[in-house]
Chain A
Amino acid sequence: MTAVDLPVGPQRVERLERIWTPRPGVLGWLTTTDHKRIGLLYLFATLMFFAAGGVEALTMRTQLAQANEKLVGPGTFDELLTMHGITMIFLFIIPITTGAFGNYLVPLMIGARDMAFPRMNALSFWLFLASGCFLYAGFALGAAPNAGWFDYVPLALKQYDPGSNIDFYALGLILNGASSTAAAINFIATIFKLRAPGMSLNRMPLFCYAVLAVAFALLLALPALTLDCIFLELQRRLGFHFFDVAGGGDPLLWQYLFWIFGHPEVYIIVLPAFGIATSIIPTFARRRMVAFPLVAMAELLVAFIGFGVFAHHMFATGLATITLVFFAAASMLVVIPSTIQVYAWLLTVATGAPRFRAPLLFIGGFVVFFVLGGLTGIMFTAIPFDQALTDTYFVVAHFHFIIFGAAVFPILGGLYYWFPKVTGRLYHERLAIVSFWVTFVGTTLTFFPMHIVGLLGMTRRVYTYEPGLGWDAYNLAETIGGFTLAAGLLLILGNLVWSRFNGEPCGPDPFHGGTLEWTVPSPPPHYNFAVIPTVRSPYPNWDRTDAGYDLERGGLVLDAGHETPSTEVRDARLEEILSMPSESPWPIVLAACVVLAFVMLLAGHVLITAVFGVLGALTLGAWHLHEPEET
């Protein structure tokens, strides 16, 4: 049995090693419940999808490089633009920020040894991977979703889109939503219950606040999308009436439900970026975050207000003026928490002693694009402006500044920042700085001219255009920018792959970061913390000596099994020691049953769907037969 106030004897560490070491080989990865391994699986899978989405984007940009280009036809172009949108949102940004960064970092940042529900965590990943493969199977079969990522009816109804393209969309997104829901529940329960003793809410890292806000937004937003997709399938397959006026339905119903999900979704995409920024900035500015509690509140507030603005995507649909004005006002409100954060970031850098290394440069790029994209966003709250420019490239420019500039830049910076933690090696700094500038120039060159062609009247989603409209030079510049951007991304990838094998060993804390993940070796051991830390500050790694904080003494070793402490929600007082489940084959089996059920549903075999459903239920039983040992 363990006891308090004992130095960490080497034999204890050895025992922890023995308890937590996973099965060797591929089987170990397939049955893993280790949040770090699941985070890495998410990372590799999402990067693959990112590459696919990038190739789709470059194909479209090549097609649009000059007037009357004939690289792809209109049908293929529709599939490309739809898959590009779905891929980047559902298969790249959300899963890489929550799944990869969140999974890897949240337990390390809060001083836990795993997520609250490790097996459900594995299930989230396998369901996510299955949903991605499911959507791309549509591509392989020549029936990829093709009605745009927001899939408006009536275009998406059976009469106008008779193939199974839209069925891939609806079923694939239901599957994806199930994965995200499971992940969101897991993050909230983990953040609420598994924080290290002493990490009261006011000492929790701001990254965790961002993940918490995202998780709540996912929980409350996803059901609307899931229900919308269920309605769509019922209408397409069984002839129900939800979206057609003739049967008493309403096409706007699709848009309402979609955007009730879709706008919170925008904040779901960008909030983790805020979280990454608030992790990187203090480290490289060498000071605490300015206005820490305000930033934490602002992160939660952005997610909250995000639910009250959805109809600003529908300003051109003929809603009542009073509705438009309400939603325009609500949309302007988002400026307040956003600006609080921008000022906090800038002031932290300005009042600190900044080191402009690659991760901080990417955050700099993020702030530039976030402010520019935010400013064009405010322009859209002027309703007549929105109505004039809706469905033009100006909109495309606006949301790519936000989604690529503001959401992906911090992801890229975060890849560099935590790379030494994950691999134990440093990335190549000079090449990293070059890659930042190439990416920055590429992004600007790709998306800035889109504002201008938008103002010149070029509409979204056109697969080609006539010469002589004044669009040619801008489009060519955008295409050149797109390839520059791709080169920048390849430089980043090359840097990371090269450094993985040849980088300098970096030790536990190369950047002198403030949060708990920098207190453990790089890469972290399977059990994360040899001694569960006791936290007395929001930056425990900096305040070790000040607050008498010492990792070697005064903590918990917990080497009697897969154990981690559970604490009380607000003040993180120690409540009990949890015995955590370890590796399990059932999550991947259950995910397989679920996806096969969906495939059979798509193919119209209801009976076989039911068989896989029953198999899934039996799998759940087998899963829960294994109970953690009583302590």
Chain B
Amino acid sequence: MTAAGLPATASSRPAGWWGMALFITTEATLFGAIFSTYVYLWLRSPRWPPQGIAPTKPFYPLLLTALLVATSVPVHGAFRSARAGAAGRAVALLLLAVAVQCSYLAGQFVLFAHDLDRMPPDRSAYASTYFTMLGTHHAHVVAGIALELWFALRLTRGVNRYRLVGLHATTLYWDFVIVAGLILVALQLAPR
């Protein structure tokens, strides 16, 4: 029954969830286009990376990606806690996720700066697509952190339906960022 006293079926996905799912659809297309560009230029080049640029070393990118994937746990946990009405626990889990994500980003920035020194993007198409790809993903991580911080802040005032739908959408977004990150690291390390 709804509040208005009308018979209603069990709630399926709310409009807010659909909004995020559709946003992710278009974002996924954007990432698809970037990844395709990278592969397209790779296939058209005699050497990828070009002469004089060493392939990216796998250890740190893989380590950081593992960290990124791990943050899925507290994010989903936060949503489950909020749904169960445990606002405090949800806030704590969100803050934990944000802390790990921030260290992930810090590590990525160190690598980014190091790579910039090693192969400036205005020298080759390889470096251009490499940095555009990474930069786009980092921007999405920043957006995800902003969303989580926002809901951590709002949930300190308790759980309501609006915030719950928002947090649900955030978990969906974060799953997308992780999947994009996995493809990214594969493409980053694939050319040898």
Contacts and interface: CB of A to CB of B under 8 A. Distances in A.
Contacts of B26: 181, 184-185, 219-220, 222-223
Contacts of A247: 123-125, 128
Interface in B14-73: 14-15, 18-19, 22-23, 25-27, 29-30, 32-34, 37, 40-41, 44-45, 50
A568 B9 contact: yes
Contact of B41 (A2, A248, A628): A248
A189 interface: yes
Contact of A226 (B30, B128, B146, B161): B30
A120 B16 CA distance: 12
Interface in A557-609: 558, 560, 563, 566, 568-569, 573-578
Contacts of B3: 1, 577, 631
Given A242-B129, A628-B162, A257 B37 contact: yes
Contact of A219 (B29, B124, B162): B29
Most chain A beta-carbon neighbours within 10 Å: one of B26, B32, B37: B26
A227 B8 contact: no
Interface stretch (A232-240, A342-350, A360-368, A455-463): A232-240
A110 to B, nearest CB: 13
A117 interface: yes
B19 A227 contact: no
Contacts of A234: 128, 132
A240 B41 CA distance: 14
A575 B12 contact: yes
A147 interface: no
A219 B25 CA distance: 7
Contacts of B23: 181, 185
Contacts of A193: 14-15, 18
B12 to A, nearest CB: 5
A493 B143 CA distance: 46
A569 B8 CA distance: 14
A194 B15 contact: yes
Contacts of A260: 33
B109 interface: no
Given A219-B22, A253-B41, A242 B9 contact: no
A116 interface: yes
Interface string A234-266: 110011111000011110010011001000000
Given A224-B33, A231-B132, A576-B2, A249 B125 contact: yes
Interface in B143-181: 146, 150, 160-163, 166
A240 B150 contact: no
B37 to A, nearest CB: 6
B63 to A, nearest CB: 28
A247 B129 CA distance: 12
Nearest to A227: B33
A630 interface: yes
B113 interface: no
A430 B32 CA distance: 53
Contact of B4 (A223, A238, A573, A577): A577
Contacts of B44: 250
A220 B25 contact: yes
Interface string A5-41: 0000000000000000000000000000000000000
Contacts of B163: 627
A189 B34 contact: no
A571 to B, nearest CB: 9
Contacts of B13: 569
Contacts of B5: 1-4
Contact of A249 (B29, B41, B160): B41
Contacts of A223: 26-27, 29-30, 32-33
Interface string A613-631: 0000100010010011011
Most chain B beta-carbon neighbours within 10 Å: one of A230, A249, A566: A249
Most chain A beta-carbon neighbours within 10 Å: one of B37, B40, B121: B37
A142 B114 CA distance: 42
A465 interface: no
B126 interface: yes
A188 B18 contact: yes
Contacts of B11: 575-576
A248 B37 contact: no
A304 interface: no
A630 B160 contact: yes
Contacts of B14: 193, 566
B110 interface: no
Nearest to B126: A248
A511 interface: no
B122 interface: yes
A222 B23 CA distance: 12
Nearest to A230: B132
A241 B125 CA distance: 5
A240 B122 contact: yes
A204 interface: no
Most chain A beta-carbon neighbours within 10 Å: one of B32, B128, B160: B128
A8 to B, nearest CB: 15
Contacts of A250: 40-41, 44, 125
A621 B150 contact: yes
Contacts of B125: 241-242, 247-250
A419 interface: no
A156 to B, nearest CB: 17
B84 interface: no
Most chain A beta-carbon neighbours within 10 Å: one of B129, B160, B166: B129
B162 A241 contact: no
Given A219-B26, A574-B9, A575-B8, A241 B15 contact: no
B77 to A, nearest CB: 23
Contacts of A227: 30, 33-34, 37
Contacts of B132: 230-231, 234, 240
Given A242-B125, A576-B11, A117 B6 contact: no
5 contacts: A185-B22, A189-B22, A190-B15, A576-B11, A630-B161
Which 10 A-B residue pairings sit nearest by Cβ, starting from the closest? Answer: A248-B125, A239-B122, A223-B30, A240-B128, A631-B3, A223-B29, A193-B15, A241-B125, A249-B125, A219-B26
Interface of B: 2-15, 18-19, 22-23, 25-27, 29-30, 32-34, 37, 40-41, 44-45, 50, 121-126, 128-129, 132, 146, 150, 160-163, 166
